[in-house]
Chain A
Amino acid sequence: MQLGSLLLIIGATTLGASVAIAMVARPRHHKHAQIKPKAKENEKVYTETAEHDVEHIFNDEFREELRNRGRLHFEKIIGENAMFLQQDLRLTTSQLNDYMKQEITKTLKDEFAKYEQSIMDAKQLAIDSIVKTQTAIEEQREMLGKQLEEQITAEKQRRINRFEQAMAEIINHYVVSAIGDQIDLNDQLEYILSDLEVNKKAIIEDITNGA
């Protein structure tokens, strides 16, 4: 009942409003100056009627109904807005997550790239150092090899010389021992005199200038 009354009222109001709008709109196009006083009069009537019936139309039930409907509508709007807000929030969260993922991924990629570059640089440095070390070791090995070879050659020559000297000493000793005092001094006289003749000048000088 109430709902039918309400619909009736709303329909009447709507109709009235439509008629009023139509009436108001018509004079604008054609006979605006002539219709204007009549419209004002009708409006005045409507206003008076509305003021007169307002208390009758908008009673407590109707107001409660409107309040309920408004509450429901408000709740609906709140719910929709909440849903929209939730959707926006989810979307925003999703976008934020994506953004964060992208940023983090980008940052991580950059950091990994830097880290990888650092590792590559360190690796290159290590490789260069190893190459230099290997080169130095190779040079040192070659130098030591040459030195060792020279020392071996020198030692070999020294031992050969020592052997030859020792052999010469052995032969000398053997010959001297074998000769012993078997050679007569008279046979040595010519040899001794020849040596004295060679050193005669030095002997004379020493005798002349000596103490």
Chain B
Amino acid sequence: MAHEPTDFRLPPGVIGLVDLGRLSRELQAIDEFVVQASVREAGKQPTLPRTSRNLDQLVKDNSYNLLRDVDRQELRAFLEAVRSRAPVIHMSFATADPSIVFLQKMIIWLRTEIHPLILLQVGLRPGLAAGCIVRTANKYFDFSLRKHFDQNKQVLIDMLQEGSVVSGG
């Protein structure tokens, strides 16, 4: 069962490169388990490594069987392809640790609207108060509340002037 890159789906739990690395390590552990099982001595059963929910979801979404060497190799190759070629978008928030629910909602929207294999890298930017700053390879988008205030500063100035006129008159 060969997959095209566009058919490959990343679960919402796989958000960034860290998650990809974790999946790769889990795959490597499974490979080692299979090798150990093939060369095991009689009466010794190697411990089956526990897989994460992300890996389970990944296997399930893409219809792989981790016990098959070909599927694991294909999955590893796809993960490497995603690591090397998938677009990465950086988002900085005012809080240090956005919740996993928030990040999953965000990555779902990004993979639905922007790119199916896009990865998200989260950063911290104190002083934003609210909103975020988005940075792609060549562009910079400021969606912060501070920027919103700056853009609407004239409204505040007009209101100040109106207030001064009202209070002065």
Contact = CB atoms under 8 A, between A and B. Distances in A.
A207 B87 contact: yes
Given A189-B105, A192-B132, A204-B114, A172 B139 contact: no
A25 interface: no
A165 B134 contact: no
A19 interface: no
Given A197-B113, A210-B136, A185 B146 contact: no
Interface string A193-208: 1011101101110110
A164 interface: yes
A185 B102 contact: yes
A23 to B, nearest CB: 148
Interface of B: 87, 89, 93-95, 98-99, 101-102, 105-106, 109-110, 113-115, 118, 126-132, 134, 136-139, 141, 143, 145-146, 149-150, 153, 156-157, 160-161
Interface of A: 164-165, 167-168, 171-172, 175-177, 179-181, 183, 185-186, 188-189, 191-193, 195-197, 199-200, 202-204, 206-207, 210-211
Contacts, number: 100
Contact of A199 (B94, B110, B130, B141): B141
26 contacts: A164-B157, A165-B153, A165-B157, A167-B160, A171-B156, A172-B146, A172-B150, A176-B128, A179-B130, A180-B129, A181-B94, A181-B126, A181-B129, A185-B95, A188-B131, A191-B130, A195-B143, A196-B110, A199-B134, A202-B141, A203-B139, A203-B141, A204-B115, A206-B137, A207-B136, A211-B137
Contacts of A210: 87, 136-138
B160 A168 contact: yes
A39 to B, nearest CB: 150
B143 A196 contact: yes
A167 B109 CA distance: 38
Contacts of B93: 185
